[in-house]
Amino acid sequence: MKPLHPFSTFTYYRRNKRRVLPVLLIIALLVVGINAVVEVVASFADTAYQYNDSLQCLSMIIPRTALTVEPSLIAQVKSHPYVAMAIPTNGFSIYVDLLVGQEYFSVLGLKEQDIPEVLQRCQVQVKEGRLLRPSSNEVMLSEAIVRARGLHLGDKIGNPVNERDAMPTEFVLVGILDGQVNLGAVSYEFLASHELYAPRREIWLVFPEQGEKEAMDRFLEQTIASQQTRLWDHNALQRQLTASFQNMYLIIAILDVIIVSVVTVAIVLLNYIYFMQRLDEFGMLYALGFSRRTLVARVFREVAVSAVVAGGAGVILSWACFLWLQVNVYAPRGFELNVFSFRPLLYTIPVPVAVIVGSVVPITWVLAHFDPVTIIERR
pLDDT in tens, the chain (379 residues): 454 455 566 666 676 677 788 888 888 998 998 888 888 888 888 888 888 889 999 999 999 888 888 888 889 999 999 999 999 999 888 888 777 667 788 899 999 999 999 999 999 999 999 999 999 999 999 998 998 888 999 999 988 888 777 788 899 999 999 998 999 999 999 998 888 887 788 899 999 999 899 999 999 988 887 778 889 998 888 888 888 788 888 888 888 888 888 888 888 888 888 888 877 777 777 777 778 888 888 888 888 888 899 999 999 999 999 899 888 888 877 777 888 877 788 888 888 888 888 888 888 888 877 766 666 666 5
pLDDT at site 240: 85
For residue 199, is the peptide bond before it cis, meaning its omega torsion is within 30 degrees of 0? Answer: yes
User: SS3 letters for the chain?
Assistant: CCCCCCCCHHHHHHHCHHHHHHHHHHHHHHHHHHHHHHHHHHHHHHHHHHCCHHHHCCEEEEECCCCCCCHHHHHHHHCCCCEEEEEEECCEEEEEECCCCEEEEEEEEECHHHHHHHHHHCCEEEEEECCCCCCCCEEEEEHHHHHHHCCCCCCEECCCCCCCCCCCCCEEEEEEEEECCCCEEEEHHHHHHCHHHCCCCCEEEEEECCCCHHHHHHHHHHHHCCCCEEEECHHHHHHHHHHHHHHHHHHHHHHHHHHHHHHHHHHHHHHHHHHHHCHHHHHHHHHCCCCHHHHHHHHHHHHHHHHHHHHHHHHHHHHHHHHHHHHHHHHHHCCCCCCCCCCCHHHHCHHHHHHHHHHHHHHHHHHHHCCHHHHHHHC
User: SS3 letters for 36-85?
Assistant: HHHHHHHHHHHHHHHCCHHHHCCEEEEECCCCCCCHHHHHHHHCCCCEEE
pLDDT at site 108: 94
CB atoms within 10 A of CB 21: 13
Contact 209, 81 (CB under 8 A): yes
**Cα–Cα distance measured from residue 126 to residue 177, given in angstroms and rounded to the nearest whole number:** 5
pLDDT at site 1: 44
The answer, as to whether pTM is greater than 0.85, is no
pLDDT at site 57: 93
**Cα–Cα distance measured from residue 109 to residue 106, given in angstroms and rounded to the nearest whole number:** 9
